[in-house]
A and B are shown apart, each in its own frame.
Chain A
């Protein structure tokens, strides 16, 4: 017994060190110069924690632990090697895996302990399992939508919110009943099934453009369910890690919601697609001015300051490497080129930065919306590539617009705006963009990758002559 107690103390000390390493790990993420230390601190903390856990006195069977660790590694390695464009669905999938782990452990603990479960224990266990299972199915749905296995369009029907609300209410009522009567084991699978179904129904009405918020929110749920698991197992390291993950997800959700000028409830219960359908109607025909790659190259060469505004369309067209060539060619001519990144550009928080960093664009050229918006009036050319709604001036001045109030990049204030676009079709949200009809706007019609490539050829070609 004494030996058991001392190994328990050793484990607690190791968990203490691991907790400190986890906090340091996140602290070092504050800057790109120290961020990789953060990963190493996290890895060290994780190794220590797993190693310490194996000292646990109650462990009698190591074989299946080893098999599971090896299997997990075999699955994890390819998940760590996915393309950068696929990172959002990978992240959603890993939220699902994390939530699956939490749900399974919670379920096993329930059947091992019931009916001898204190009310407090059953409360946190229900929270763990309900949050875990809705995060599991919700994240799988989100991953499916992002991978385009499932339709990206929001699926809505009448009374959807009422159905969702009632489902969640029933799950909570069952949870309360189980808290009072933990011997009613037959009710546990019902609660589990409802929470799983709720996760699916929660994400069904959410469209692709809202994915950054949803992924962040699911991240917060995954963290909170892990923290609840820490309460159930009385494991302080788990509480710390869950709280860190939960607050991270929450902060990102708030940033994403603000960037879209929408509340959580609006994202979760609003089904974005519906609002726009009516607003897109009633547009009269207006004229736009087009330009060729030669003209675009000439304007860019004459500029001193250029700001590139990339959107998800750039990533879809796989144009980021051509954009890097454009950046190189213009920088060589002494043009100051920067990139303006809207918080919701891409399919998850910070996605666009990763895509541009992958294309070897230095991170000090990537500017946050708040840092660059004041500079547009002094910008000679704003080049919009595959972005639409985040540049729509209607968000600033048209109170009838469905995106009114959403913070946007003020590209219309630049001397010249050039927009690379396939055609005049409205963007993801189906809203017309008055930017395209401004006097200082030139439309560059074509595929983003091909068009940027043509501009680069013009720039490097003329460079050779002169």
Chain B
């Protein structure tokens, strides 16, 4: 890896860190649990690295580790999005109709 690539990556990391900080600071404490399950699902984007590892099949060892990694990350993606949506569906505002 040459230094330009490194500097580019560090730039992206820094900017994404600041964006994350600003965006997440605005999330209401009401939604902190769904926030955590959502970021968890998004973090499972690591699956793309594992998919390439399995697909390239450079060695049996790497393919086996990659396969387990894809399983672990996929379960986070599916379970994470699923439960986040389930939780968010429960958050309802009070309507005038609920207080007759």
Q: How far is the CB of A61 from chain B (nearest CB, A)?
A: 5
| Closest B residue by C-beta to A22 | B42
Q: Find out whether the CB atom of B32 lies under 8 angstroms from the CB atom of A71.
A: no
Residues in A neighbouring B35, C-beta threshold 8 A: 26, 29, 248, 252, 349-350
Please report the C-alpha to C-alpha distance between residue A84 and residue B83 in the assembled complex, in whole angstroms. 9
Q: Find out whether the CB atom of A30 lies under 8 angstroms from the CB atom of B52.
A: no
Given contacts A42-B41, A80-B83, contact A252 B93 (CB under 8 A): no
Given contacts A49-B48, A90-B79, A97-B73, contact A105 B53 (CB under 8 A): yes
Residues in A neighbouring B45, C-beta threshold 8 A: 18, 22, 46, 49, 226, 237-238, 241
Please report the C-alpha to C-alpha distance between residue A61 and residue B42 in the assembled complex, in whole angstroms. 25
Interface residues in B, total, Cβ within 8 A: 85
| Closest A residue by C-beta to B90 | A357
Please report the C-alpha to C-alpha distance between residue A90 and residue B36 in the assembled complex, in whole angstroms. 11
Please report the C-alpha to C-alpha distance between residue A73 and residue B79 in the assembled complex, in whole angstroms. 8
| Closest A residue by C-beta to B19 | A23
Given contacts A29-B31, A80-B80, contact A72 B71 (CB under 8 A): yes
Interface residues in A, total, Cβ within 8 A: 116
Interface of B is mostly: helix
Please report the C-alpha to C-alpha distance between residue A72 and residue B13 in the assembled complex, in whole angstroms. 28
From B62, B79, B93, B100, give the contact of A94 (CB < 8 A).
B79
Residues in B neighbouring A109, C-beta threshold 8 A: 53, 62
A interface footprint on B18-40 (CB within 8 Å = 1, 0 otherwise): 01110111111111111111111
Given contacts A61-B57, A64-B63, A101-B46, contact A76 B38 (CB under 8 A): no
A121 contacts B by Cβ under 8 Å? yes
Q: Find out whether the CB atom of B16 lies under 8 angstroms from the CB atom of A239.
A: yes
| Closest A residue by C-beta to B79 | A79
Q: Find out whether the CB atom of B26 lies under 8 angstroms from the CB atom of A35.
A: no
Q: Find out whether the CB atom of A98 lies under 8 angstroms from the CB atom of B42.
A: no
A268 contacts B by Cβ under 8 Å? no
From B55, B75, B91, give the contact of A62 (CB < 8 A).
B55
Give chain A interface residues in 43-57, CB to chain B under 8 Å. 43, 45-46, 49-50, 53-54, 56
Please report the C-alpha to C-alpha distance between residue A36 and residue B91 in the assembled complex, in whole angstroms. 10
Q: Find out whether the CB atom of B52 lies under 8 angstroms from the CB atom of A97.
A: no
A301 contacts B by Cβ under 8 Å? no
Residues in B neighbouring A94, C-beta threshold 8 A: 37, 40, 75-76, 79-80
Please report the C-alpha to C-alpha distance between residue A94 and residue B36 in the assembled complex, in whole angstroms. 10
B interface footprint on A364-400 (CB within 8 Å = 1, 0 otherwise): 1110100000000000000000000000000000000
A interface footprint on B50-63 (CB within 8 Å = 1, 0 otherwise): 11111111110111
A59 contacts B by Cβ under 8 Å? yes
Q: Find out whether the CB atom of B25 lies under 8 angstroms from the CB atom of A236.
A: no
Please report the C-alpha to C-alpha distance between residue A238 and residue B92 in the assembled complex, in whole angstroms. 33
A332 contacts B by Cβ under 8 Å? yes
A195 contacts B by Cβ under 8 Å? no
Among the 9-residue stretches A181-189, A227-235, A407-415, A440-448, the one with 4 or more Cβ atoms under 8 Å from chain B is: A227-235
Residues in A neighbouring B40, C-beta threshold 8 A: 91, 94-95, 98, 219, 222, 245
From B1, B79, B89, give the contact of A80 (CB < 8 A).
B79
Q: How far is the CB of A439 from chain B (nearest CB, A)?
A: 33
Q: Find out whether the CB atom of A246 lies under 8 angstroms from the CB atom of B46.
A: no
Q: Find out whether the CB atom of A243 lies under 8 angstroms from the CB atom of B42.
A: no
From A53, A120, A245, give the contact of B48 (CB < 8 A).
A53
Q: Find out whether the CB atom of B100 lies under 8 angstroms from the CB atom of A243.
A: no
Question: What are 9 of the A-B contact pairs (CB < 8 Å)?
Answer: A22-B42, A32-B28, A68-B54, A79-B78, A104-B72, A109-B53, A244-B20, A247-B17, A350-B33
Chain B residues in the interface with A (C-beta under 8 A): 1, 5-6, 9, 12-13, 16-17, 19-21, 23-59, 61-63, 65-95, 98-100
User: Which 7 A-B pairs have CB atoms at the shortest separation, nearest pair first?
Assistant: A72-B74, A80-B82, A76-B78, A350-B32, A59-B55, A362-B94, A79-B79
